[in-house]
Structure 1
């Protein structure tokens, strides 16, 4: 894969994750309360939903920052794919099938990042790995 193409894929998913986290962080309590309400009739207890919903914006924001910088790229792509699978389980638990396409697309982009990691040359990872040591 062309490094510039890879860069745009990484930046695209990075902007999405960063943006999701950024807009939710200032309204963290309201976001969490809405998620708890949405899961009220599901099999998942509030004891699990509340902490997960509070963590979501931080995870999205952190994944976004790492992707935008190209930092810890393999770890970030694995964490992002795993995060998407967790979100998809929650989406299934409340039968919110309209959210699935977006989550599948995000998952697909994380898999693309992993598949073509060798093209991740325009990144902080590449800069740090090629930096001369004294």
Structure 2
């Protein structure tokens, strides 16, 4: 493995771990607690509570599935693209609240996802590469 390939896999694993364990943490705290907290947090925004509730129920599943896929390099391009879309939605919500520190963190995650997609040619150490051999 070359330096760029090692750097790529380390960054991919890192963002995968972050999403996977944030998602697991949301299940651990209880989805009802998460969703109720989100509905309260977004009460003064134009988003309808039903939409916030639905999105809040999807977030833990999305984070766990996408985190797992990116961590292990399974359907990496699709998982990263969906991770980017999820980050856009999460950032949009935090702009409405507003919560500038979370917006800033999400933008960093967006840059990482962008870099991983842009540099996908260096994704040589993954389960999907093993399956293609």
Q: What is the TM-score when the length of structure 2 is the normalising length? A: 0.94
Residue 101 of structure 2 corresponds to residue 104 of structure 1: no
Aligned residue number for residue 56 of structure 1: 59
RMSD of aligned Cα (Å) = 0.9
Q: Which runs of 5+ in 1 are unaligned?
A: none
Partner Cα distance (1:33, 1:71) in 2 = 32
Partner Cα distance (1:127, 1:34) in 2 = 42
Q: Which runs of 5+ in 2 are unaligned?
A: none
Aligned residue number for residue 39 of structure 1: 42
Aligned residues: 130
Deviating above 4 A after TM superposition, structure 1's stretches of 4 or more consecutive aligned residues are none
| Residue of 71, 75, 81 corresponding to 1:72 | 75
**Structure 2 matches for 1:116-127, cutoff 5 A?**
116-127=119-130
Partner Cα distance (2:41, 2:52) in 1 = 10
